[in-house]
């Protein structure tokens, strides 16, 4: 798990999809080809300690996986990352001026969206 990540239970993760999708649309613009949010499914990364996710453009589905030490809780950064793929950025590289690499903890784009969610009060950080 990345230091700046937030873990959500399945219900909150599902609830966050529309808010993140709308924020991505607002931030990136409406020029992207995919207009509807993808279907969200949950999985478990049994061998890896960290969370992960995958987007399937053929079925327009996202699978987010909890890490082996975080059963039942899912990475908000992984969700943002996979929703960005679903929004039309299928390749890694840059989104606007932000890095969007395969390695989640170096993903400046997903961190920016996470910070926007927190600043707008959509996601609350417990201290």
Would the pLDDT of 51 be above 80? Answer: no
Structural domain count, the chain: 1
Q: Which of 114, 97, 118 is nearest to 105 (CA)?
A: 114
Residue 77 lies in a domain: yes
Instruction: List the domain range (segments joined by +) for residue 34.
Output: 7-119
pTM score of the predicted model:
0.90
Question: Look-up: residue for tokens 């390695």?
Answer: 103
Alpha helices in the chain (DSSP H): 10-28, 76-86, 108-119
Residue 125 lies in a domain: no
Higher pLDDT, 125 or 121: 121
The CA distance from 52 to 2, in Å, is 11
């Amino acid at each position: 798990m990345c230091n700046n990540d937030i873990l959500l239970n399945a219900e909150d993760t599902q609830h966050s999809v529309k808010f993140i999708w709308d924020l991505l649309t607002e931030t990136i613009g409406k020029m992207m080809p995919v207009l509807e949010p993808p279907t969200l499914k949950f999985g478990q990364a049994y061998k890896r300690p960290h969370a992960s996710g995958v987007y399937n453009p053929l079925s327009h589905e996202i699978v987010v996986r909890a890490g082996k030490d975080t059963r039942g809780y899912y990475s908000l950064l992984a969700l943002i990352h996979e929703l960005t793929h679903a929004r039309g950025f299928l390749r890694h590289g840059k989104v606007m001026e932000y890095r969007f690499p395969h390695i989640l903890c170096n993903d400046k784009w997903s961190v920016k969206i996470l910070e926007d969610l927190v600043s707008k009060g959509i996601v609350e950080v417990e201290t």
